[in-house]
């Protein structure tokens, strides 16, 4: 018998048992305190998301490795693209500073 089944059986028995008003009030206060304590213990959204990712990783390792590879390639491609754009900017700056800019660049609307 697991904890959930045990809790359900215990709850049914307690529901059938007669309870004095004083005991009922104490039980209500204890339930409220337990709910407040449980809600204070819940993990923040980021921790919950991380926990979900770990569970997904263990259940679907092949898919997880594929997604990790795709994410790595996307990050690497993004870095390469940024590097290429930065190199083009540097080349333009060098041409501007050296006064070797072609006439086409000066006539361009984007310039």
Q: Give me the residue label for tokens 């501007």.
A: 96
Q: Is 50 helix (H, G, I), strand (E, B) or coil?
A: helix
**Joined tokens for residue 23:** 């005991």
- 71 vs 16, more confident: 71
User: Do the beta carbons of residue 62 and residue 69 sit within 8 Å?
Assistant: no
Q: pLDDT of 73-107, one tens digit each?
A: 999 999 999 999 999 889 888 877 777 667 777 77
Q: What's the whole-model pTM score?
A: 0.40
The continuous run of DSSP H or E covering 60 comes out as none
pLDDT at site 58? 85
Q: pLDDT of 27-69, one tens digit each?
A: 889 988 888 877 666 667 667 777 788 888 888 888 888 989 9
> Cα Rg for the chain, rounded, in angstroms?
32
pLDDT at site 39? 67
Write down the H helix ranges in 42-60: 45-59
pLDDT at site 41? 63
pLDDT at site 99? 74
Rounded to whole angstroms, the Cα distance separating 70 from 26 reads 56
pLDDT at site 2? 85
């Amino acid at each position: 018998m697991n904890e959930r089944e045990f809790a359900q059986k215990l709850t049914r028995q307690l529901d059938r048992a007669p309870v004095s008003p004083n005991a009922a009030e104490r039980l209500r206060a204890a339930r409220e305190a337990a709910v407040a304590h449980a809600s204070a213990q819940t993990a923040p959204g980021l921790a919950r998301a991380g926990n979900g990712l770990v569970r997904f990783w263990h259940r679907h390792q092949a898919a997880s490795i594929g997604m990790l590879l795709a994410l790595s390639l996307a990050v690497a491609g993004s870095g390469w693209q940024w590097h290429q754009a930065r190199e083009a900017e540097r080349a333009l700056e060098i041409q501007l500073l050296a006064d070797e800019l072609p006439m086409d660049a000066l006539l361009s609307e984007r310039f």
